[in-house]
Every structure is written in C-alpha cells, then in structure tokens.
Structure 1
Amino acid sequence: MTPQDIIDTFVGFYRERGHLLLPESSLVRPPDDPVLFTTSGMHPLTPYLEGRPHPLGRRLVNVQRCLRTTDLDEVGDSTHLTVFQMLGSWSLGDYDGPRSLRWGYELLRDGFGIDHDRLHATVFGGDDHVEPDTASLETWRELGVPVELTGQENWWSNGPTGPCGPDSEIFLWTGDTPPVGTPGTDGRWMEVWNHVQMRYHRRDDGRLVPLRQRNVDTGMGLERLEMVLNGNSSVFAGEAFRPWVRTVTGLWRPDEETLRRVGDHLRSAVVVLGDGVRPSNTGRGYVLRRLIRRTLTALWRDDPSRSLADLPDGPIGDTLDRFRQSLPVDEVRTLLVDEERRFRGLLRRGRPIVSRYLSRGPLRDEDYRRLHDTYGLPRDLVDVLVAEAA
C-alpha cells in the first residue's frame, strides 16, 4: 500500500462511522502554546479534550504532521523519525475506549488485511492512584488478542501537566518466525497504534482531577504502518524516503546509520522550513539549526568537502508536495546552504579554541559547558573538533 492508500483507508473507515475530517495544523504552535512544535495529533485539540465544544462535532479524524525532539538521538535505527505523519481519531465525550479498540481491531484486520495472529496488545495495569484498565483488558480477551498488563508504559500524557490517561497499545509482529513472547520480552513486536482514554487533567502539583468529559484519542504513525504492511525492514524503505535514500547514497555513499540520520534530518529540515521556521540560536530556529548541523557533522566526518549545495530538486520538491507546502525549492536550498556557510565559519573559529582546551587534557563536562556558553560551540560540534584533533 502507498502512503495515500493507507490515508484513504484510515480516513474512509472513520468517516463511515460519523467522524468529520479535521484540517491539518502547522508544526508551529500558536504564541500562547509553551510547546515549540506540534508533537502529536491531539496537541491542537487540547482545549476540546478539556471540554470546549469543537465546531466539527464530537467525532473527528485527521492526518497530522508532528515533530518530536525527544526522539532525535534515536534516529538512525529502523523506526524512529524526527518529523512524521500521525493518523488520528477522536471521540470528544462520545463513545468509550472499548468501542475504539473494537474499531481499531476491525480496521487492522479487514481494512489493512493484517493477520489476527500478528497482533498483541498492552493495557495499563494500575498504580497507586488509578485502577487497572479492566474494560480494555476484557475487550482484548473477547477479541482473542493476546494482552499484556504494564505500568507507566501504558499511561499517556503530552507533558508534565494537562490531559492524560491510561492507554492501550497495539503491536504487530515483525519477525521472520511465528510470533513469540510479548512486547515486553521481544523487540520484534513493534508498536503501531495507541488508543488513549483521556480521562484526567494533571495539575501543576501532580494531582489528577477528572476531565469534564471522557475522551478517546488514537494515534498511529503512517510511516511505521507503511513499513509493516509492505514487509519493509525499516521506515526508510517507504515511498516518502526513497528520493532521499537515492540522493544521499548517490552523492555521498554513507554507511546505513548515517544514511538514515542524514535522510531523516534533511527531510525534517525541509518540512520545518516549509512551515516558516528559520535557523536561529533559540526556540524553533535552534531545533532547525541543530537538524542541519547534525546532518553536516555526519557528512563531514568522512569528507569535509561535502555540501548541501549539491542536493538536487527531486527530494526537496517531493517532500514539500507530500506535506502540502508552497515554499520554492530554490529558496529551501538557499536557506540550507546559508546555514552550512555559517557552520563552516563556526568550525574555523572553534578549532583553535578547542585545541587550547585539549592542551590541558581530556575535556570534562564543565569544559563542554564553558565552550557552549562562552563560545557557542555545542557538544556534538566540539566532539567533531576533538575527533579532528585526535
């Protein structure tokens, strides 16, 4: 299935069940939102999860682009991405968690053709404050899907405060053998879909208070689902990454981990630029700057002459089209090359400074802090300069 096939199947399934299509939001959050980027499909819906009536009603579905800096250091494996697309459905005080799970099972089995025997679920097993999620547990048992009780792994929140609640995660078997073990014991079980029963609001003092309405919020990563449906070994074999993989391997011939990191960071940087962010030393601009500089750090490790000026139009234009963004390809390349030029200048200025610190012995944590705070040299850049000097 292509990504568009998956989107059409998902959205169509929920529209047949009374859900209205919610317009996609930008990655950039409004000025009054303390979070820099949209991190999940539910993020723009927070006021409505807390009880405000939504103009489109109580059943919603959409596809939302998201960015998570918390996964930045995980990028390079087979499943983690910085920018990704999230398939989401919501009940705003309408139907309950068990109905959502039954629909989810039906969609995976009948809509996407996933074998029942490849499914496994996990459910919140309770803690000192909240009872076990027995309704979800019983639902999975009735459906005949193996289920595992866990702790905080099945408690979802979008931050230290705000809407939260127990969730049930659906895993698919990705191994070459018949399924064995559980998601907690075998890493070949891959999480693809999370069904959250958004029942509580966590206050600043940590207390949980019931929300005015009980909601259901589900989220499923498009790229991960495409991976398992098509039998790929990683998300980077998907349709959206093929232009980047061809380009990066054709230009620079990196190893597999570098290929994934560079492909992810370049694609993510294009999407962030497309939503109006520009490189800077603070906030969203610093996240963008870090993505570009991590890309260059990886590329220059083997050959400092490599340049983003060599990027062809293809992957940039394909990414802008997929995310429905109108920034001209030439402008994207110009912004990337301008940031590369700044980074090269910082490297030239940083080399003698780092050499001076190294003359005193191996760098300590306090040296890294001083190099960052005084000279603006981030740790990953300093490590590059240390490796150069070795």
Structure 2
Amino acid sequence: MSSDEIREKYLKFFEERGHARIEPSPLVLENDPTTLFTSAGMQPLVPYLKGEPHPKGKRLVDIQPSFRTVDIDEVGDNRHLTFFEMLGNWSLGDYFKKDQLEWCLEFFIEELGLAKDKLWVSVFEGTKEVPKDTESTEVWKSLGIPEDRIFYYGVKENWWSRRGTPEAMPTGEIGGPDSEVFFEFDIPHDPKFGEKCHPNCNCGRFIEIGNSVFIQYQKKGDGTLSELPQKNVDFGGGVERIAAAVNNTPDIFQTDIFKPTIAKLEEETKNKYGEAEEKDRRFRVIADHLRAAVAIASEGVYPSNKQQGYILRRLIRRAALNLQKLSKASALSLSEEVTKSLTEKEETATLIGEEVGKFEKALKKGEAMVKGHPKLDPFDLYQSYGIPYEVSEELFHDAGRALTEKDKKDFEEKLAKHQKLSRELSAGVFKGGLADTSREVVRLHTATHLIHAALRKILGEHVSQKGSNITSERLRFDFSHPEKLSEEEIKKIEDLVNEQIEKDLQVSFEEKTYDEASQEGALAFFGEKYGKKVKMYTIGDFSKEVCGGPHVKSTSEIGHVKIIKQEKLGAGVVRIYATIEVK
C-alpha cells in the first residue's frame, strides 16, 4: 500500500464519521515568534482545545507537515526524521476515549490491514495528581487487545504537551495523558537494550504508529493542574512510520516515500544502500535533511545564522558533509541532482545548491584547520567559516577526536556570549536600522515601508525583510528573493512607490499587542524582540508594519524614490540601495 493511499484512506475514514477536513498550517507560522516550526497538528488548534468554538465544528481531521529540531541529531537510524507528515483527528469537547480508541483500532485493522496480534498499546500509569488511565485499558481490552500487550508508563512516555511532562509545562499550557499504538516487527529482542522487551524498547522490534492524547488539563499559576472546561482528543500518527508498518519494513527509508531518493543517491554516489551500517546512516541523513530543506525553503526561508534560517543551513550543510563522505564527486553536483528529484521549484533547488557550494569551500578550509591544530575549539570553526557545531562533530570525529558534552556546552556558552555582544554593539550604533532621526532619515525610513510593500506586491509574498540601515544620504534594504532584480522589476517597484507618494497617503499608528497587529496583517521584522505593546504603522491602504518609528505624517513629504544599486548577498537574499530627491 502506498503512502498516498494511506493518506486518502485516513481522511475518508474520519470524514465518514462526521469530521470536517481542515487545511494544514504552514510549516513556518508567519509572525509567531514563540516557535520556529509547526511541530504538531494541534499547534494551531490550541484556542479551540481551550474552549473557543471552531468555525468547522467539534470534529476535525487533517494531514499536517511537521518539523522537529530536537530530532536532528537522532537522524541516521532507520526510524527518526526531522520532517514528517502527521495524520491528525480531533474532538473538541465531543467524543472521548471510547470512540477514539475504537476508531483508531478500526482504521489500523480494517482500513490498513494490520494484524491485530501485531498491535501493542501503552497507557498512562498515573501520578499523585492525575489518576491511572484504567478507562483506556478497559476500552482496549473490550476491543480484543490482551492484557499482556497493554503496558503502563509514566509521564516521560505517556503524557503529552508541547513542553513535555507536567513539571515542564509553563502556566497556561494544556496537555494530558495519552495512549499509544505500536506495531511489532519480526525482529528478535537484543538483550543489550534490557532483559525484557516492551513497546518502548529501543531494540527495533516495535515502532509507534499512533498516539491518542486526551487533552483535559491546563497548568495553573501555582504549579498544579486544573481540568479544562471540555475534554478533547488529539490524535497524531506519522505517515512515514505507518507506511513502514503497513509494508512490514522496520526501515522507514525503504517505504515509497524515501525509495526514489535512496535510489537516486545510489545512482549518483555509486554506493549501495543496505550493505554497510555507516554508509546507511549517511544515506538516511542525506535523504531526510534534503527532504526537510526543500520543505522549509519552499516556504520562503533562506539559509542564515538566525532562527529558521540557521536550522535550514544546518540541514543543508550536514547533508553536504555526508554526501562528500559517500562519494569523491562534488557534493554540489550530487546535491543538485538529488534536490531536483525532490522538487520542481527551480528556485528552491538553486538556493540549496548555492548553500552547498559555499559550504564546500568552507569545509575544505575547516578540515585543514582541524587536522593542523590539535587544540582547535569548535567555536573557532564557527567564527572562521560559519561551520555549525553539528558539522564540527563530524569533522573532529573523522580526525580522530570525539567531542564531548563539555565541548558542546562550551560552544553554546561562547555562542550566546558572542550573540549578546553583537546585539549590544548593534544597539550602540543604531536602533531599528536608523543612524539618526533627522528629517532626511525620517523620510527614508517611511520610504523603506513603501519599498517593502511594493516588493511584495511586484515579486510575491515570499519577500520578507532581512535587514535595513538608513543614513541621511540613502537607505539600504535586505530582503528574501532568489535572484537580483531585472531592470523592468526595478522600474515597476520605483513607479509603484512613487505613485503612493504622489497620492499623499496619510501615515498613522496605533498601539496594539503583537498578536493583534499580526492578526490585522501587519508585517514584522522576523527575529526582532517585541514588547507587550507595539506600534503598528499604516500608510493608507498600501502598507501596514510593526515598527518603532519615526515617520512622516503623509507620503507627499518623502520626495521621489530612486533605487541606485543592488547586490546579491548570497543564497536567497538581495540588498538594494535607494535615495530620495526632495521636490
């Protein structure tokens, strides 16, 4: 059975049971500084799980692309991924444990054809505050799951919230006990993982294919848990793992989701998957990381040293390093071929290729540096060549020196200190990109807002601000875009900006919370730290941005805007310079 069939069967199954299909959220949630990526299907549904009515009702279903940074270092075995698709169904104060567990088992057995005697389950053993989940146990037993295939676990295994265990949940966070379903492969238990095998054993015999979370608690300010006004169900099942179970292969990289990529890698590197564990690990890292990189880059993220851009850079560079270890051929040419097999978007493939090319040059210098300096610090590699710690680990390992937890801690401390110093130095030079607040600078600052809006209207909504600097003579604006602007595009942008200036649009601002401004469609400089209240500046019906100001009162005060220069800063970032001529 193909992964496409699994997806369609799931959606149809729950639609037939009164669930409304909802659109998945973007992988990168726009204007949400609290999270880098969507890591679970429930993330956008938190208000409705807390009791707010959902416009599509109390029963929902979708398939959510997700990314989890915590799994980057785990990738390399036969089941961990960073990017995955999550089947999800929800009950918002409607049905609860009995219906959910019955439907869950019915879907796995009747729709997907899994043998009941291959399914094992886990339930919550309880705490002093939350009772043992005997209700789920009784439901499972009534459905024919024998008691010796029902296992109890504590909060580390069978409690779910976005932050982990009840102790780790911040005030206001919601969560609850869960019940997981595991598929058993025909693999003998390996005693090195413990005397007795069980569903959460790491020997490879079991794989989790579904988790029904019963979200019924919320963390209070005093550290205790209170019952939510409604009892909710939040089910999640990884498409990739379910496909492995359905096709009875313990290796998710042997499902139809990854087979084409693995085959392409075999063809390009002249290696065979399945012959040597170390090579297999590299195959898996490349396949997962490039797939994830394509997904992230497709949503307008560009490699950088901040936020999502840093994660994207880590993925691409780690994939490139493993490509280089698999083959003597150029990692750049190899990555281009593999990436083209994963996406039809030429700009995405180009972006990844450019990053690999830059990394190849840095890597050669880094390898020489590691071999020539026995006392080298991983942070030196980061400062000199932008090589992330995770890639440094590979370089040091290949040079015969394994990095320790202390090395990692030292790196993180030095990086934090370095970033803090950079912020302080920046704050001393300018605030929000403004060198001063003279009349010329204020005009240019307002012109920057018009240019930002015009770029998005002419080039597309993938454009976002990456940086700016303004002096009394000119403005400099960095933005996300795969290539330099054509003369025609520059003229269109200039004409659109100057058209708004001639309209004499009024410039006004309101104080709002960041969330309120975001909901109204205000643009924000991603990565900027905003307080509880922000200023939302509006220029007619043309531009709306979160900004500290200052600005002119009407656009007619600005003058004529002229773009005088442009530069390509690297993969996916363009810099333009502009001046104004006051009439």
Q: Distance in 1 between matches of 2:208 and 2:310?
A: 30
Equivalent positions of 1:15-164 (< 5 A) are 15-145=15-145, 146-152=149-155, 153-159=157-163, 160-161=169-170, 162-164=173-175
RMSD, aligned CA: 2.5
2:141 partner amino acid: R
Higher relative contact order (Cα pairs below 8 Å, separated by 6+ residues): 1
Further displaced range: 156-165 or 369-378: 369-378
Shift of 1:287: 0.5
Partner of 1:339: 355
Partner of 1:170: 181
2:264 partner amino acid: T
Contact 1:64 1:86 in 2 (8 A): yes
2:392 partner amino acid: V
Unpaired segments ≥5 residues, structure 1? 321-327
Return closer, same or farther for 1:188/1:387 CA change in 2, 3 Å cut-off: closer
Query: What are the superposed Cα offsets for residues 356-383 of structure 1, whole Å, 9 maximum, x if unpaired?
Result: 642xx4x5xxx33455467644323334
Query: What are the superposed Cα offsets for residues 259-290 of structure 1, whole Å, 9 maximum, x if unpaired?
Result: 11111111111111112111110100111100
SS of the counterpart of 2:322?
helix
Q: Distance in 2 between matches of 1:109 and 1:57?
A: 28
Query: What are the superposed Cα offsets for residues 154-201 of structure 1, whole Å, 9 maximum, x if unpaired?
Result: 0011124322100000111111579x9531456412110000000112
SS of the counterpart of 1:301?
helix
2:263 partner amino acid: R
Q: Name which of 276, 286, 294 aligns with 1:262.
A: 286
Further displaced range: 54-63 or 137-146: 137-146
Return closer, same or farther for 1:286/1:120 CA change in 2, 3 Å cut-off: same
Contact 2:124 2:152 in 1 (8 A): yes
Query: What are the superposed Cα offsets for residues 121-142 of structure 1, whole Å, 9 maximum, x if unpaired?
Result: 1000101221111110111122
Partner of 2:300: 276
Return closer, same or farther for 1:387/1:200 CA change in 2, 3 Å cut-off: closer
Partner of 2:2: 2
Further displaced range: 40-49 or 19-28: 40-49
Q: Distance in 2 between matches of 1:344 and 1:329?
A: 23
Contact 2:124 2:153 in 1 (8 A): yes
Shift of 1:209: 2.5
Unpaired segments ≥5 residues, structure 2? 164-168, 190-195, 272-278, 401-583
Equivalent positions of 1:243-322 (< 5 A) are 243-254=260-271, 255-301=279-325, 303=327, 305-311=329-335, 316=339, 319-320=342-343
Q: Distance in 2 between matches of 1:166 and 1:128?
A: 13
Q: Name which of 378, 381, 385 aligns with 2:391.
A: 381
Return closer, same or farther for 1:85/1:383 CA change in 2, 3 Å cut-off: closer
Return closer, same or farther for 1:112/1:382 CA change in 2, 3 Å cut-off: closer
1:108 partner amino acid: F
Shift of 1:350: 3.8
Further displaced range: 74-83 or 285-294: 74-83
Query: What are the superposed Cα offsets for residues 291-341 of structure 1, whole Å, 9 maximum, x if unpaired?
Result: 00001111223556422334566x646644xxxxxxx53212211121012
Further displaced range: 130-139 or 229-238: 229-238
1:272 partner amino acid: I
TM-score, length of structure 2 as denominator length: 0.60
Q: Distance in 1 between matches of 2:398 and 2:181?
A: 45
Return closer, same or farther for 1:92/1:334 CA change in 2, 3 Å cut-off: same
Partner of 1:324: none
Q: Distance in 1 between matches of 2:398 and 2:188?
A: 45
Further displaced range: 211-220 or 228-237: 228-237
1:101 partner amino acid: L
SS of the counterpart of 2:94?
coil
Return closer, same or farther for 1:187/1:98 CA change in 2, 3 Å cut-off: farther
Contact 1:308 1:333 in 2 (8 A): no
Further displaced range: 235-244 or 287-296: 235-244
Contact 1:240 1:319 in 2 (8 A): no
Contact 2:282 2:326 in 1 (8 A): no
SS of the counterpart of 2:95?
coil
Contact 2:340 2:349 in 1 (8 A): no
Identity value in percent: 38
1:175 partner amino acid: D
Shift of 1:116: 1.4
Q: Distance in 1 between matches of 2:259 and 2:207?
A: 22
1:262 partner amino acid: I
Q: Distance in 2 between matches of 1:173 and 1:355?
A: 45
Further displaced range: 51-60 or 342-351: 342-351
Q: Does structure 1 residue 241 correspond to structure 2 residue 258?
A: yes
SS of the counterpart of 1:220?
strand
Shift of 1:228: 1.1
Contact 2:22 2:60 in 1 (8 A): yes
SS of the counterpart of 1:120?
strand
SS of the counterpart of 1:90?
strand
